[in-house]
Structure 1
Amino acid sequence: MMTLQVDNHGDIPETMRAAVLFGPGDIRVIEKPVPKPGPGEVLVKVAECGMCGTDLKIYDGHFPGTPPYGAFTPGHEWTGTVVALGDTVDELAVGDRVCIEAHHGCGRCENCLAGKYTMCLNYGDSAKGQRASGMTADGGFAEYVVHYASSLYKMADSISFKDAVLITTAGTGLFGLDSAGGYVVGQDVAIFGGGPVGLMTVQLAKQLGAEKVILCDIDQNRLDLGKTLGADHVINSSETDPVKAILDLTGGLGVHLAIDSAGAASIPDLLLHCTRRGGKLLLIAFYAKPVTLDLAKAIREGIQIHTSRGEGGGDVARALHLAEMGRLRCGELVTHEFPLENIADALSIVRSHEGDPIKVAIKF
């Protein structure tokens, strides 16, 4: 059944404005029917939806598993207000403000049963219940979106919708740290990439007790921001050899954990050469082309290589709790907001970095 909202937002309309992908580089705002939540699902009125590099890959037609052109609405970093409940939902109520975990597994495959729902073996199979909002199912570049209640988290009043866009991003960094063992107390961590994921990971590493957090990027403004967010050292890798600088900062040993949140094909090998013997690499970025890595060195020196995808492990909820405790700075990283009608312009800013954006978002 569908419980219509009764709060001051008014009745739910039959149709909504939504951005639909009609082909590579062709996104249009059209009228679509407002979706209806099924059992275990809720309908959310979207307040804001962030953008990241994954959205560019989807926009360009280079992301696997997306639905057919002409119907699919992207957007996976959305937040908003619950306006209707599907049958069996009692975890949330109409009027709740929520942030999102984009991935929801089928709940029946071997990986899901082991808690690895971002690696669902039925990825892309909506008939079996898998949903990755804005990737394998319609997402948040629309006025309304349906999602599973179990992948939404009610927010305290202290958390704004602008904050919530970055909480999803923080979940990505936290899931990566979790996947690499999570225990960084007293350790040195290097993060390559001062974009939203990297900047949230800087904060997370400090909150988890890292000794030295070192941020590397080619954009000095992002490095300066990283310093205010908790980075102990920043390295402009367009001016300085980052490997030498990191080795100098760590007494020649290298860091315990080196993280790539940027996605340039050259970075993983740089990580390897600034990581100490017995240390770890963590790759949480997507790469546009194959990566060359000195695996012989990794094997000789016992360096472990970890990867993670998205914001699994329940880590959006953990990131939300950190933000509610005042331990994450989120909303100030949203530097550019656009109305839905200007979504192509917003995507262009994400690609070109014109105006030095950190997080670009669609605001309703």
Structure 2
Amino acid sequence: MAPSRAVRVVSPGQLEVVDVEVAPPGPGEALVKVAHCGICGSDREVFAGTRPAEFVRYPVVPGHEWSGTVEAVGAGVPEEIVGRGVVGQGIRTAEGTPASVAGDTEGWEQEYEETGFTLPGGWAQYLTIPARYLHLLPEGADLRAAAGIEPAACVAEAVLLADVSAGSKVAVVGAGTLGLLAVQLLRGAGCEVTVVHRNDSREELSRRCGAAHYTTTEGAAALEGTFDAVVEAAGAPGVARTSVRLARRGGRVVLTGIPAADADDLSSLELVSRNVHVLTVFGAPTRAWAYAVRAFAAGVLDPTVLITHEFGIEDAAKALDVLGDRSSGALKVLLHP
């Protein structure tokens, strides 16, 4: 078949759009024609060279927030999935191990491998991936919207770990892509959601996503100790401590952000004396992907409201600049091969 156009980061700061050969899928593999692929802050880290060395391998085709259509399958993969819309897990698990069966990305000793970081990703016209990582979408699904399922899966794991139920009072700290997708999922679970953001710029969008209340970080001090659960999705210095203080005694706090540095370390005295349970999310296990896909199929999850910019892959460098420019108003930026 014809070569695939792809964006490749050769080394930090060096990006090129190239032709790459597309091989037929091997045993257990599927070849996906990529429809859309989101750009994440971690993709900007790959380009800038600020992602920790153990979590990237150059040269690499970035892109882990992708959606597409199965073009062909290899031996051992059901032919009937050809033509189906799909999304796919990025973090690899050791095949046949208990961790793989459980969908636990951390529970089994293995080398870190992930689509778009150490393996070719979705900033390309075609992507080859083991079929066992695919999640089938409903017939006729909006693939533009489906590109938001990957970040939704990450916060779906946070929702599952938060152990909420209908009527739970939950704070979401940070109204970026992850935070707003978390709001949608929590609202879908029947929770009363309060968004805490650094300023008031995201109030309207937060309420569109299902938030019942909104406050700035400054105003959040009056709400300390009032939430059954807190989902942190800001990744900024100090927000982990803010999140813990928002939780009631015995509450749960789930941290998803990775700040560059944090001078305000969590206090073990605060955690123990108030019996606050702190959990963390790195990537999304299979159960979280299944949760996010079901929410998408049910109409609970709608990533389209977060899309602000779209570019072809030839303009990937411009797309990265726009995402990094706070004055652009960019929230979710998509590439469409």
TM-score normalized by the length of structure 2: 0.93
Structure-2 change in CA distance of 1:172 and 1:357 (3 Å): same
> Which AA in structure 2 matches 1:265?
P
- Structure 1 segment 274-289 matched on structure 2, within 5 A: 274-289=246-261
Q: Which runs of 5+ in 2 are unaligned?
A: none
Q: Is 1:255–1:279's contact at 8 Å kept on the other side of the alignment?
A: yes
* 1:206 pairs with one of 187, 195, 206: 187
What's the offset of the Cα at 1:151? 1.4
- 2: distance between equivalents of 1:85 and 1:110? 26
> Which AA in structure 1 matches 2:166?
V
Q: Percent identity, aligned pairs only? A: 29
> Which AA in structure 1 matches 2:319?
A
Question: Does 2:124 align with 1:142?
Answer: yes
What's the offset of the Cα at 1:32? 1.5
- 1: distance between equivalents of 2:103 and 2:44? 29
> Which AA in structure 1 matches 2:277?
Q
Which residue matches 1:193? 174
* 2:53 pairs with one of 64, 76, 83: 64
Which residue matches 1:177? 159
What's the offset of the Cα at 1:110? 5.4
Q: Is 1:159–1:323's contact at 8 Å kept on the other side of the alignment?
A: no
CA RMSD of the aligned region, Å?
1.9
Structure-2 change in CA distance of 1:235 and 1:89 (3 Å): same
What's the offset of the Cα at 1:355? 2.1
Which residue matches 2:240? 268
Which residue matches 1:360? 333
- Structure 1 segment 108-123 matched on structure 2, within 5 A: 108-109=96-97, 111-117=99-105, 120-123=108-111
Higher alpha-carbon deviation: 53-62 or 190-199? 53-62
- 2: distance between equivalents of 1:228 and 1:78? 24
- 1: distance between equivalents of 2:92 and 2:267? 35
Write the deviation string for residues 327-355 of structure 1: whole angstroms up to 9, x where unpaired. 22222321110111111111122222332
What's the offset of the Cα at 1:118? 5.0
> Which AA in structure 1 matches 2:38?
G
Write the deviation string for residues 275-320 of structure 1: whole angstroms up to 9, x where unpaired. 1111111001122124511221111111011001122133222222
Which residue matches 1:296? 269
What's the offset of the Cα at 1:139? 0.4
Q: Is 2:229–2:247's contact at 8 Å kept on the other side of the alignment?
A: yes
- 2: distance between equivalents of 1:362 and 1:324? 23
Q: Is 2:102–2:286's contact at 8 Å kept on the other side of the alignment?
A: no
Which residue matches 2:219? 241
Which residue matches 1:254? 226
> Which AA in structure 1 matches 2:180?
L
Which residue matches 1:167? 149
- Structure 1 segment 333-348 matched on structure 2, within 5 A: 333-348=306-321
Aligned length: 335
Structure-2 change in CA distance of 1:22 and 1:48 (3 Å): same
SS at match of 1:153: strand
What's the offset of the Cα at 1:236? 2.4
Question: Does 2:298 align with 1:316?
Answer: no
Which residue matches 2:298? 325
- 2: distance between equivalents of 1:92 and 1:153? 14
Q: Is 2:105–2:284's contact at 8 Å kept on the other side of the alignment?
A: no
Higher alpha-carbon deviation: 315-324 or 143-152? 315-324
- 1: distance between equivalents of 2:140 and 2:210? 22
- 2: distance between equivalents of 1:91 and 1:315? 26
SS at match of 1:132: coil
> Which AA in structure 2 matches 1:225?
L
Which residue matches 1:218? 198
Structure-2 change in CA distance of 1:346 and 1:37 (3 Å): same
- 2: distance between equivalents of 1:171 and 1:148? 19
- 1: distance between equivalents of 2:57 and 2:300? 41
- 2: distance between equivalents of 1:49 and 1:72? 15
- 2: distance between equivalents of 1:88 and 1:340? 32
Q: Which runs of 5+ in 1 are unaligned?
A: 1-11, 125-130, 248-252
- 1: distance between equivalents of 2:139 and 2:181? 21
- 2: distance between equivalents of 1:338 and 1:63? 27
- 2: distance between equivalents of 1:43 and 1:161? 16
Higher alpha-carbon deviation: 89-98 or 105-114? 105-114
> Which AA in structure 1 matches 2:52?
F
